[in-house]
Structure 1
Amino acid sequence: MSQTDKTPSSTEEGHAPLIEHLVELRSRLLRAVVVVLAIFLGLYAFSNDIYQFVADPLLKLLPAGSQMIATEVASPFLAPFKLTLVVAVFIAVPFVLHQAWAFVAPGLYEQEKALALPLLASSVLLFYLGAAFAYYVVFPLLFAFFTQTGPENVTVMTDINAYLNFVLKMFLAFGIAFEIPIATFLLILSGATTAQSLATKRPYIILGCFVIGMLLTPPDIISQTLLAVPMYMLYEVGLLMGRLVKRKREEREEREDATEE
């Protein structure tokens, strides 16, 4: 067989794994989309109830005679629709991450799998906790402040679409902020920095938490503090976790070295 005849065959063999990976990736993306759509269709009949639940922290604090309003023609339909879709994605996150894990897991070592899976589960749980903290702790305090500090001759009547954009931004901000322990833990574990080095930078971390709180929340000291303080506390949790795991890993390596000797 000539060299010319061999070349196409070898090229096809080289491309085969890539094509297989792309096909698998497409399959897992389609599964994730189908699950999100299925959850969305199941929730759509309750879209107004879901919006009512999300708006409840503000509705409870509106002055007598006030209510939420829709300033755009399509807002009464689009706002609950958009919220229901976001909730569907929110609920489907574990399944979506499972599909991502199933795609990348075959290429990982056993030690990496043992570490990655708990971190993945913890990151999902922390994101949910951040959103729950925003809803049950931050919103009541924040909306109480907003509704009570306005001029007496101004009636608070919030647009439903503007309110939805505001709360979604807050959910996302607190969900991401609650991932700080994972980020801190990974920085220590990967060797990018040390627990001792991070501990000496506490004043800068505190300042950074308040700067992030200022950027991600409305321009008031209450919401900034409600985001900055949990961020710093979670940073300390990540620092503690990193120290413990790093110490255990070093002790295990010392025992293995002693055994080899």
Structure 2
Amino acid sequence: MPRDSALRTAALVRLNTALLLRESGPLVSRLVLPLILLTLMRPLYQAAQGGAAGTEQAVVGILVMFSLLGMSLVGSAVLQERVWRTWDRLRTTPARPVELLAGKGLPVLVALLLQQALVLGYGAGLLGLDVRAPALLGVACLAWTVALLAMGAALGAAARSFGELSAAYDIGGMLLSALGGALVPLAELPRWVGAVAPLSPGYWGFGALRGAVRGDAGAVFAASGALLGFAAVAGVAAAWAIGRGRARSDRL
């Protein structure tokens, strides 16, 4: 990375980290709520699927659901620039779209990885989740988080208001979680759900994380590849939306 680009990106990362920590309510809720729900729901999953299988479904499924809801962190960070009327100003700076996205996304990357570490650590340390391949779990978490960041940035770049963004990630997060088998195993759902499940990033996120817990390298790398595909498409869409906005600003 050229030095000027690195300096611009670092400055944006520092600024957006400060903004994320100053308005920390959404971040705290994304960290605390999955632990509460996991504690309450684990006995239900254990009763339905058995001890170890129920714990695995509860930990991985709830993590997938709340990490999808965590897309709101990066989406809100992008959209709030419009609310503050600073978005057009950022577009006309020397910073490229990819630098703007990195500046917004890297602080959230750390937040999402922290969320995953807390949920998985809680599951392994206190609930008896048997993680057979910690290294593979790191690969799965990173691929899943990159996909979340790209999708969240695309939503933030496309949404016209916080209400629209909230509806997108609330409804979308729950829908993608359900279609991915995170809330209820796909075997227990209607057949058509299983047929469309691979269209959901939640399906691949759940598959990658569950594969790592079970020590299945093939499942982890296949699902991680699919997640990076989702990330590439969403990242291009987000960069295009920001670049188009810059072009419009230049013509004004």
Please say whether Structure 1 and Structure 2 have the same fold, judged by a TM-score greater than 0.5. no
Q: Between the two structures, name the one with larger relative contact order (CA 8 Å, sep ≥ 6).
A: 2
Mark the structure with the bigger radius of gyration: 1
TM-score normalised by length of structure 1: 0.30
What is the TM-score of this pair, normalised by structure 2? Answer: 0.31
